[in-house]
Amino acid sequence: MNTILVLLAVLFACLTEGKLTREGHCYDDNDLQNYKHFVGKHAWNNYPSFYMVKELEQLESGGNRQRRQTRHSCPNLVASSIQQVTEDHNSRSISPWRYRIDVDENRLPMKLAFAECLCSGCIDVRTGRETDAVNSVTVNQTMMVLRRKQCSDQKTYAFQVEYIKVPVACTCVLPKSHY
């Protein structure tokens, strides 16, 4: 509920400030920086896709960069080969996934963590190997974002509310041909 109130406050501020044109209220780059800071701090804090970005950036800038870039294929999950049990659902799942940072300069928030399935099938729990009897698919969360559109003066921007589907995890499903 608090998230909705904060987003409504931001939307109200967007509609009442800035230069009014036929596109709506237009903002220059300084106004945009202020709104990015406000919106980023308050409105999207309940979305894992938003708050995970900082953690992912820290992992990629640290010593885990090599490991994160090489694990893009479907792993073999034989119980005896798992050296360290992790709390991360994405690496223990029979439909494992990784996260990548999606950047869109015309979206607020600009950076979101998107899940990507590592397997087209799922891991068979008996063999630890991928099977095509079931499919890995993303689980999506609908998220409200603000889309930046250029105004007719080519110097300022307006915001439009947009709902996007953000992949947050992967799960196993029966192939569509089984229906």
Structure-model confidence comparison of residues 69 and 179, the more confident one: 179
Encoded tokens for 162: 């947009």
Give 112-158 pLDDT, tens digit per residue: 999 999 999 999 999 999 999 999 999 999 999 989 898 988 888 88
Give 71-125 pLDDT, tens digit per residue: 578 988 765 455 555 678 888 899 999 999 999 999 989 999 999 999 999 999 9
Is 32 domain-assigned? yes
Is 74 domain-assigned? no
Residues 6 or more apart in contact with residue 125 via CB below 8 angstroms = 94
Confidence of residue 69 (pLDDT cuts 50, 70, 90): very low
Confidence of residue 65 (pLDDT cuts 50, 70, 90): very low
Encoded tokens for 1: 């509920």
Percent of the chain with pLDDT over 90: 40
| pLDDT value of position 73 | 87
Model's pTM, two decimal places? 0.75
Domain extent for 170: 2-61+92-178
Is 16 domain-assigned? yes
Q: How far apart (Å, rounded) are the C-alpha atoms in residues 162 and 142? A: 10
CB 16 within 8 A of CB 27: no
Is 24 domain-assigned? yes
Is 72 domain-assigned? no
Is 164 domain-assigned? yes
- What is the count of structural domains for the chain? 1
Q: What is the mean pLDDT of residues 47-72?
A: 74
Domain of 129, CATH number, reads: 2.10.90.10
